[in-house]
Amino acid sequence: MNNFSVNLSTVFTEVPFLDRFKKAREAGFDLVECQFPYSNTIEEIRNELEDNDLSLILINLPPGHWEEGDRGLAADPNRREEFRESVEIGIRYAKGLGVNQIHCMAGVHPSNNQNIFIENLFFAGTAMSEHGINLLIEPINPIDMPGYFLNDIQQAEEIINSVGLPNVKLQFDFYHIERIHGQALSFFQKYAELVSHVQIADSPGRHEPGTGEMNYKEILLYLQKHYKGSIGLEYNPQGRSAESFARLKEVTS
């Protein structure tokens, strides 16, 4: 499990968030990630990381008001100041928790536009570069998240190139790319030089690898040979979380 990072926002949801760190250690993980840690204090999370000898490698920026439908702020021309405040919060949590990668969600607002997204990414990437933090963007499929601004990998490449900062990178989620484009592995091969973090789940159900239609034996074998980073397990377990790892081991053996 040393190459995998278990996402504590989607796995071990049978228990409260702070209890999931112990579950991750008991399952043999060294690395964890999560989406939005902001309901807990830095101190609370740091204590769990230290007590369970875990490293937190990825968080998301605050997305706005999730319960009201926000899915990020970065492409919204009417929320520049709120976005900048979210960058400050994200950097503070990342520094306090030893995180070196932050995913920035674009948003679903109808007024979103690419120029604003690029401008905000440049601001955030510049701020994060001072702390050795990578800023990641990720195409998300329109089936799961209708109206999400960034929903194509070529669009992501264009945006990253337009921002032009070495710490602004691609988060490659095999599930989302499969749902958007199909043949996710071929797209990884094409865009690998932009990738700073990988996440996996099977399609179409977004459960653990081995439960859907994707050839994860081929994908994980390729990643083992050609990708040096960690692999985030951002899936929704089909059954109990602990049982999902047995299926994962089947496709990695």
Active-site option among 33, 48, 138, 208: 138
Using a 10 angstrom Cβ sphere, with 0-12 exposed, 13-18 middle and 19 or more buried, the burial of residue 129 is: middle
Return d(Cα 182, Cα 159) in angstroms, integer.
21
Return d(Cα 61, Cα 43) in angstroms, integer.
18
Task: Write the secondary structure of 212-235 as one string of H (helix), E (strand) and C (coil).
Answer: CCCCHHHHHHHHHHHCCCCEEECC
Instruction: Name the residue type at position 71.
Output: R
**Cα maximum dimension of the chain:** 50
193 part of the active site: no
Q: Mark residue 231 as left, alpha or beta (left: phi above 0; alpha: psi -120 to 50; beta: remaining).
A: beta
Active-site option among 33, 119, 208, 234: 234
Alpha carbon dihedral 173, 174, 175, 176, in 10-degree steps, equals 50
- Backbone Cα Rg of the chain: 17
Residue-wise DSSP of 6-21: EETTTSSTTS-GGGHH
Neighbour count for residue 80 (Cβ, 10 Å): 15
250 part of the active site: no
The residues annotated with a catalytic role in the active site are: 138, 234
